[in-house]
A = this chain, B = another copy of it.
Amino acid sequence: MDSDALVLHEDRFFDPDPAVRAIARALYERTRDLPLVCPHGHVDPALLANNDFFPEPTTLIVVPDHYIFRMLYSQGVPMESMGVPTRDGSAVESDPRKIWQTFADHYHLFRGTPTGAWLNQELYEVFGVRTRLNGRTAMRVYDQIAERLQSDEFRPRALFDRFNIEVLSTTDAAADPLEHHRTIRESGWKGRVIPTFRPDAVFRIAQPGWDGHIAALASASGMAIGDYAAFVDALQDRRDFFRSMGAAATDHGVVEPYTERLADDEAQRLFARALAGEATAADQRRFEAHMLMEMARMSTEDGLVMQLHPGALRDHNTGVFERFGLDKGADIPVATEYTRNLRPLLNEYGNDPRLTLILFTLDESTYARELAPLAGHYPALRLGPPWWFHDSAQGMKRFREQTTETAGLYNTAGFNDDTRAFCSIPARHDLSRRMDADFLAGLVARHVIEAEDAHELARALAYDLARKTYRLDQPAEVPESAAMAGVGA
C-alpha cells in the first residue's frame, strides 16, 4: 500500500469501543447529509458576490489562515516565508509554490489538531486529493488543486450549492454598506447569505481610530452623530438596515463581559468625552458595558439574536501586530467571569422571552461553573458551541460533558463554523456532527438516554437548534422604516 495514500476513515473520531462506535455511526448517518446551517462566520461576502475563480491553492488555503501560519511560526518559520503580507508593504515571499512547499514540509505539526483534520478532509472531499500532504508530495498536491480551481464547479457559488449550505451568515461592521449582500440578492442566485451586525468598533471609545468608525457610521446612516442620542439612533437605523438585508443576529466581542446600565446623562457625558478625544480606558469599559445593555434592549424590540464573544486578548504579540496587523494568530485567551459581569444585563433582560442571548467562551473552566447554571435558568440564554481554540474534537467533548448535565442539550445553540476559510466549512460541520453523534452514542451505550431519543437529539444538535436559536426558521419580517433605510443607504 502506498504510504503516501490519503485515506479518510469512515469511523474517524468515533469511540473505538465497538458498541459505542456502532451507535455513533448510526446517529451520524442521520445527520451527515442534512443541510449546513452557518449562523456565525467570517467568510468574505465578496467571494459569493463576485463568484470569481479562486486564484491558486496557496492564496486560497495557506496565506489567509492564521490557524496554519501561527503553527509554523511557533516552530520558527518566519511569517514572511508564508507570504503573510506586511502592513508597510515590505516584501514577503510571493512564489505560491515555494510557500506551499514550506507548508507541506511542516505538515506534521498538525498531527492531532483540528486544523489537520479539517485540511485532510478539505483536500480529500472538496479537491479529490488522494495523496497525503508532505514535503515529497507537495507539488503533486498543489498541481492537482490548482487544476481543479480552474473549473466552474470550483467557483464559490457552485461550492456553496455543493456544500449544501442552507444559510451563511457573514460578520459585518456597523457602517458596512452590505453592497456584496445586495449584489448577491440582486443576482438571481438563490444562495442565502445574510449579514451579522457587529458594532464593536464604535463602542471602543478610547481606541485610536474610533472617530473614523463614528464618521463611517454617520455616513452609512445618513445621520449626524453629535451626541449620544444620535449615536443610539444611528445604531438602531443600522440594525434596521441589517434586518432588511436578512440579518438574524448581532455579535459582540469584548475582553470582559462586563455589563452595567448607565444613567442617560452619564452615557451622554462619556460619549461627549470620546468625541473630544478624551475618553480613557476606564470610560470605555463602562461605555461598552452600557452599550451591551442597549444592544440587549434593542434586541428585545427588533428580534435580532444577540451573540457575546468575550475573553480574547487581541494582538498579544506587539511586534507581530505592528508588522502584520490584526488576526495573525496572536490572540490569547484570558480567564473570564460571567456570573457577576452579566448579572445587570440578565436581571434587566434575561427573563424577557423576546431576547435570545448566545454566550461563547474561551475559558472552559466556566462551562460547568457559570455558563451551564446560567443557561439552565435564564429563559433568554443559550450556550454557543465550543469556540475557536475549543472548536476541536476534545474541545467539543469537554463542552458536552461539562454543560449537558446542568444546562441540558436544549439550552445549546447548535453548531457554527466561525470560519473565514470557505472551503473548510463542510469539514468543520462534519467534525461537529461526528463528535455530537459520538457523545450521544456514549449516553446510549451507558443507558443514560434511549436510542430513539438520541436520534432526535442528533438531528437537533446538527441542524434544528441552530435554525431555531438564530430564528432562521422564521420568515424575515422587514420593518418598513428599515426597508426605507436600506434604500437610502
Given contacts A368-B389, A370-B332, A405-B392, whether A16 and B316 have CB atoms under 8 Å apart is: no
A16 CB contact (under 8 Å) in B20, B112, B114, B379:
B20
Contact B110 A408 (CB under 8 A): yes
CB distance from A132 to the nearest CB of B (A): 8
**A19 nearest CB neighbor, chain B only:** B16
Contact B114 A405 (CB under 8 A): yes
Contact A390 B368 (CB under 8 A): yes
What residues on B are CB-neighbors of A210 within 8 Å?
none
Contact A376 B74 (CB under 8 A): yes
A11 CB contact (under 8 Å) in B370, B373, B447:
B447
What residues on B are CB-neighbors of A60 within 8 Å?
none
Contact B113 A405 (CB under 8 A): yes
What residues on B are CB-neighbors of A401 within 8 Å?
394
Interface residues on A, range: 35 or more
Interface positions of A from 281 to 336, Cβ below 8 Å from B: 313, 316-320, 329-335
What residues on B are CB-neighbors of A70 within 8 Å?
376-377
Can you list, as one digit per residue, whether each of A170-182 has a CB less than 8 Å from chain B (1) or not (0)?
0000000000000
A445 within 8 A of B: yes
Given contacts A319-B351, A353-B76, A389-B368, whether A111 and B376 have CB atoms under 8 Å apart is: no
Can you list, as one digit per residue, whether each of A334-375 has a CB less than 8 Å from chain B (1) or not (0)?
110101100100110011010000000011110011101111
A370 CB contact (under 8 Å) in B114, B333, B373:
B333
Stretch touching chain B among A29-37, A142-150, A448-456, A479-487:
A448-456
A268 within 8 A of B: no
- Alpha-carbon separation in the docked complex, A319 to B370 (Å): 19
Contact A377 B449 (CB under 8 A): no
Contact B332 A313 (CB under 8 A): no
What residues on B are CB-neighbors of A110 within 8 Å?
408
Can you list, as one digit per residue, whether each of A1-31 has a CB less than 8 Å from chain B (1) or not (0)?
0010000010111111101100000000000
What residues on B are CB-neighbors of A320 within 8 Å?
351
Interface positions of A from 253 to 299, Cβ below 8 Å from B: none
Contact A313 B333 (CB under 8 A): no
- Alpha-carbon separation in the docked complex, A377 to B318 (Å): 13
A457 within 8 A of B: yes
A75 within 8 A of B: yes
A443 within 8 A of B: yes
- Alpha-carbon separation in the docked complex, A363 to B372 (Å): 12
What residues on B are CB-neighbors of A12 within 8 Å?
446-448
Indicate the member of A74, A318, A319, A337 with the most B CB atoms within 10 Å.
A74
Contact A369 B333 (CB under 8 A): yes
CB distance from A182 to the nearest CB of B (A): 35
What residues on B are CB-neighbors of A394 within 8 Å?
401-402, 404-405
Contact A405 B409 (CB under 8 A): no
Indicate the member of A19, A113, A346, A381 with the most B CB atoms within 10 Å.
A113
What residues on B are CB-neighbors of A369 within 8 Å?
333-335, 362-365
Contact B351 A340 (CB under 8 A): no
A351 CB contact (under 8 Å) in B317, B333, B374:
B317
Contact B408 A446 (CB under 8 A): no
Additional A-B contacts beyond A73-B379, A108-B453 (13; CB < 8 A): A16-B442, A70-B376, A74-B411, A112-B448, A316-B343, A317-B346, A319-B347, A331-B373, A333-B339, A333-B369, A334-B340, A334-B370, A392-B405
A-B contact pairs, 5 of them (CB 8 A): A16-B20, A74-B375, A109-B408, A335-B369, A394-B401
Residues of A within 8 A of B (CB): 3, 9, 11-17, 19-20, 70-71, 73-76, 108-114, 117, 132, 313, 316-320, 329-335, 337, 339-340, 343, 346-347, 350-351, 353, 362-365, 368-370, 372-379, 381, 389-390, 392-395, 401-402, 404-411, 442-443, 445-450, 452-453, 457
Listed from nearest, the 10 A-B pairs whose CB atoms lie closest are A9-B447, A16-B445, A12-B447, A392-B405, A365-B365, A389-B406, A332-B339, A112-B404, A333-B369, A16-B19
